Amino acid sequence: MTLPETFGSVLHRRLLWLPARTNRKIGSPTSMEALSQLTLAQVQANDWEPWSGVLGGSAWPDDAFTVMSWNSLAQSLVRRDLFPYCSKAQLRWKYRKDRLLAEFLFYRPSIACFQEIDKEFWQSEWAPLMASLNYHWHYYGYRAKKHGCCIVWNAGKWRCDGYRCVDLDQSQKVQGLTLPSDNVLQLAVLTRLGPDSRMDSLSPVNSTHTEETPDHPNRASSHPQRPYAPLASGTQQGVLVTNCHLYWRPTGGAVRLAQGLVIQREVDAMHQEYGGGTLPTVLCGDFNSSPAEGLYSAFHHTGVTAHDSLVQDLVTSFELDPRLAGMAKPPTAEPASTPDIQPAVVEDPRLMTSQQQREWVIQLMRAHQSYPPIRSVYQKYEEVDPQHYALAETAESTGQPFFTKYGFHPLVGYQPKQWAGEPRFSNYGVYRGLLDYIFYRQPSRPLKAQSESNHHDCLQPVGVLSIPPESTLLPGIPNDAFGSDHISLLAVFVLTK
């Protein structure tokens, strides 16, 4: 694999320890500095030694594991007009592939969630690499597209005890309304293996099989096949991992809010089936949603009222989204605005009155509060990397909103008061903003039930991979160092009792 020296900029991303919530001492300035100063030549000389090994035993918690989330830009979606700042070479798959694979090789996470993975290239390029590194995986593609999502895990440390794939499409009804979208969701129950595990004896590492059915030909997986069964309480550490790629249109905030509710109920269903409500959850993906949008607020249980500007923004999206607009509203008088009004069950949101749309959005926000809150690992990133925000007000850094042709763009650039300390961006192209997240949710079992048992695990995020310096990204990515228009996110977790 031949890479230019400029690729070394990828390796200069730093591991940042989050503010300590326990007395555990993790990391040291010396080891952090050593990691940040690695060069491409050093990594090549070490035959792509995983970065966790570079940190050394004293700096790396014995029970820590890493989770990566990355939209790797499907080649089937690459068009020159979307990336006017790129050379032709930078957009070719062969050129981008080397950078994508090399970045994964370097960070070598315990668990990874990919979005926008071309099925053709996954089978021919990614899968052989995963097999050589002892990773198992589940791939799930869109029905009508050439790309999809994939969950991978280190088979020497984890095994998959449960898996489900869900279409976020017209088969889903949320609060009486049919979703007008076409997206996918994956859920996998992963169990941490003990030192005496005999995982390798169950099946060859590269035992790839493809599940093809008349109704869905885009499923593939590579891992030992065993009957899925509930976890034995108190005997093993497990985590539920979800991977999604939500509705892309910037005016689709209300649709993403509804999709988020489907994620919540699918997570609960997996909890009850496999962990009895005791499984912590890591939720990864390209949520196509900024912190200023409704889904982020709903996940975090941020309060909302009928007069909240956030609700109005979501209602406005009904009129501006091409999938929702274009049909006249029924010639009926709109109901009076009262807290008691319930939206009628309407199959097509284009037939809802403005008041019904408002009430439906409020119902969605309130429905999210019936589930445990979901937190972002990168929330309060400003506390660990203030330099990331130094250029936030410059024209070169901020750029102009990409989606002005729609007349309404909730996916705007960085807004300090609404960003909750999140990074300014995860996508860096013509549009620059935060679309990707690693969320986590604690076990859903009621607190009273938890107090009666010590067998539930909780997730504690202890570190994140830094956001690259903008000097390595301008004028936009992909470039000679980064193979996608999205940067990879990576979090370090420990499971605690």
Quick: pLDDT tens for 162-179.
999 999 888 888 877 777
Among 145-149, 164-168, 282-286, 387-391, whose mean pLDDT is lowest? 387-391
Arithmetic mean of pLDDT, 180-204: 72
What pLDDT sits at residue 486? Answer: 97
Q: What is the mean pLDDT of the chain?
A: 74
Arithmetic mean of pLDDT, 99-107: 85
What pLDDT sits at residue 317? Answer: 64
Q: Model confidence at 240, in pLDDT bands (50, 70, 90)?
A: very high
- The SS3 of residue 46 is coil
Between these two residues, 29 and 265, which has the higher pLDDT value? Answer: 265
What pLDDT sits at residue 200? Answer: 40
Q: Which residues contact 40 (CB under 8 A, 6 or more apart)?
A: 3, 5, 7, 8, 11
What pLDDT sits at residue 79? Answer: 93
Between these two residues, 31 and 232, which has the higher pLDDT value? Answer: 232
Pairing verdict, β 208-213 and 216-222: antiparallel
Question: Does 291 sit behind a cis peptide bond, omega within 30 degrees of 0 on the bond before it?
Answer: no
Arithmetic mean of pLDDT, 7-30: 46
Distances from the Cα of 7 to the Cα of 98, 190, 236, 372, 477, angstroms: 10, 33, 40, 41, 13
Arithmetic mean of pLDDT, 482-492: 94
Tell me the domains of the chain and their CATH numbers: 5-309+366-496 (3.60.10.10)
What pLDDT sits at residue 260? Answer: 95
Between these two residues, 256 and 219, which has the higher pLDDT value? Answer: 256
pLDDT at 490 over 60: yes
Output the pTM of the full model.
0.81
Q: To the nearest 10°, the Cα dihedral for 137, 142, 146, 150?
A: -20
Task: Summarize pLDDT for 290-336 with one digit per residue, the tens.
Answer: 998 889 999 998 866 544 777 777 777 666 665 664 323 333 434 33
pLDDT at 81 over 80: yes
pLDDT at 405 over 60: no
Alpha-carbon gap, residue 239 to 81, rounded angstroms:
41
Alpha-carbon gap, residue 67 to 113, rounded angstroms:
8
Alpha-carbon gap, residue 149 to 141, rounded angstroms:
6
Between these two residues, 445 and 464, which has the higher pLDDT value? Answer: 464
What pLDDT sits at residue 227? Answer: 54
What residues are paired with 69 via a beta bridge? 113, 489
Nearest to 256 by CA among 281, 282, 280, 291: 291
As a whole-number percent, the residues of the chain with pLDDT over 70 amount to 64
Burial of 41 from C-beta contacts in 10 A (0-12 / 13-18 / 19+): exposed
- The SS3 of residue 306 is coil
pLDDT at 223 over 60: yes
Burial of 5 from C-beta contacts in 10 A (0-12 / 13-18 / 19+): exposed
pLDDT at 21 over 80: no
Selection from 181-190, 314-323, 403-412 with the highest mean pLDDT: 181-190
Among 169-178, 246-255, 390-399, 417-426, whose mean pLDDT is lowest? 390-399
